[in-house]
Amino acid sequence: MLSQDSIAFLHRLLDAAGPSGFESDAARVWRTEAAAIGRVSSDVAGNSVAVINAGAPVTVMLAGHIDEIGVIVTWIDDDGFAYIAPIGGWDPQVLVGQRLRFLGGDGDVIGVVGRKPVHLLKPDARDKAVKFEDLWVDIGAASRADAEARLSVGDAGVIDTRVITLPNHRLASRAVDDRIGAFVILEALRRYAERPGVAAVAAVATTQEEIGHHGGGALIAAGRLNPAMAIAVDVTHATDHPTADRKDAGDHRLGGGPVLTRGSVISPVAFGILRDAAARIGVPFTLQAAGRETSTDADFIHLAREGVATALVSVPNRYMHSPVELVSLADLERIPELLAGFARSLKPGDAFKVKV
Q: How many CB atoms lie within 10 A of CB 353?
A: 10
CA distances from 68 to 18, 80, 174, 245, 348 (A): 6, 27, 8, 25, 36
The alpha carbon torsion through 75, 76, 81, 85 (nearest 10 deg) reads 20
- Percent of the chain having pLDDT more than 70? 97
Checking if the pLDDT of 116 tops 80, the result is no
Is 144 within 8 Å of 56 (Cβ atoms)?
Answer: no
Could you report the per-residue pLDDT of 267-281, keeping only the tens digit for each?
A: 999 999 999 999 999
Checking if the pLDDT of 350 tops 80, the result is no
Domain ranges of the chain: 4-68+174-345, 70-159
Could you report the per-residue pLDDT of 60-112, keeping only the tens digit for each?
A: 999 999 999 999 999 999 999 999 999 999 999 999 999 999 999 999 999 99
Whole-number pLDDT of residue 214: 82
Checking if the pLDDT of 118 tops 80, the result is no
Whole-number pLDDT of residue 128: 78
Checking if the pLDDT of 115 tops 60, the result is yes
Any idea which architecture 70-159 has in CATH? Beta Barrel (2.40)
Indicate the pLDDT class of residue 297, thresholds 50, 70 and 90: very high
Of 238, 229, 216, which Cα lies nearest the Cα of 300? 216
Strands 200-206 and 59-65: parallel
Could you report the per-residue pLDDT of 209-255, keeping only the tens digit for each?
A: 999 778 899 999 999 999 999 999 999 999 988 887 887 777 899 99
Whole-number pLDDT of residue 121: 64
Strands (E) located in 55-180: 59-65, 70-76, 82-87, 99-104, 107-114, 136-138, 156-159, 164-166, 170-173
Is 28 within 8 Å of 103 (Cβ atoms)?
Answer: no
Checking if the pLDDT of 355 tops 70, the result is no
Choice among 22-31, 57-66, 164-173, 340-349 with the minimum mean pLDDT? 340-349
Q: Which of 209, 210, 325, 337 is catalytic?
A: 209
Indicate the pLDDT class of residue 119, thresholds 50, 70 and 90: low
Checking if the pLDDT of 19 tops 80, the result is yes
Strands 309-317 and 259-263: antiparallel
Mean pLDDT of 19-39: 97
Indicate the pLDDT class of residue 141, thresholds 50, 70 and 90: very high
H or E stretch at 185? helix 176-194
* DSSP state letter for 129: P
Tell me if residue 130 falls in helix, strand or coil.
coil
CATH number of 4-68+174-345: 3.40.630.10
Distance between CA atoms of residues 218 and 284, nearest Å? 27
Q: Which residues are registered as beta bridge partners of 313? A: 233, 260
Whole-number pLDDT of residue 120: 60
| Exposure of 339 in the CB half-sphere (CA atoms within 13 A) | 40
Mean pLDDT of 16-25: 97
Residue 337 falls in the annotated catalytic set: no
More confident residue, 115 or 148: 148
- Percent of the chain having pLDDT more than 90? 82
Checking if the pLDDT of 306 tops 80, the result is yes
Tell me if residue 162 falls in helix, strand or coil.
coil
Checking if the pLDDT of 300 tops 80, the result is yes
Tell me if residue 300 falls in helix, strand or coil.
helix
Checking if the pLDDT of 337 tops 60, the result is yes
Distance between CA atoms of residues 69 and 339, nearest Å? 26
Mean pLDDT, the chain, rounded, equals: 93
* Beta-carbon contacts of residue 134 (< 8 Å; ≥ 6 apart): 92, 115, 116
